[in-house]
Structure 1
């Protein structure tokens, strides 16, 4: 559950904070994904692509930390 504190009746600032938290948690991405049915084959392909992307990003960060990039 997401809690946002509104200070000094500043609703705009609270909304920005809420949107940022939801973005970080992946709520918007999940809502977009649930909007339409995703075939199991498409879901597997998407998950595999995401895993490849994560692995490459991790490898890039590791290389950068070691000073090879």
Structure 2
């Protein structure tokens, strides 16, 4: 599972965008969709 640590003075929106991008790179959503019934 990808993790993202907030940097000093980093807005939450930016961290969320980084988290979404790291999930995409790791293939998390594709994996969930493939296991969906």
Q: List alignment gaps of at least 5 residues for structure 1.
A: 37-69
Alignment of 1:1-12 (within 5 A): 1-7=1-7, 8-12=9-13
Unaligned runs of 5+ residues in structure 2 are none
Superposed displacement of residue 19, structure 1: 0.6
User: Higher relative contact order by CA 8 Å / sep ≥ 6: 1 or 2?
Assistant: 2
Structure 1 length normalisation: TM-score?
0.45
Stretches of 4+ aligned residues off by more than 3 angstroms: none
Q: What's the C-alpha RMSD, in Å, of the aligned pairs? A: 1.5
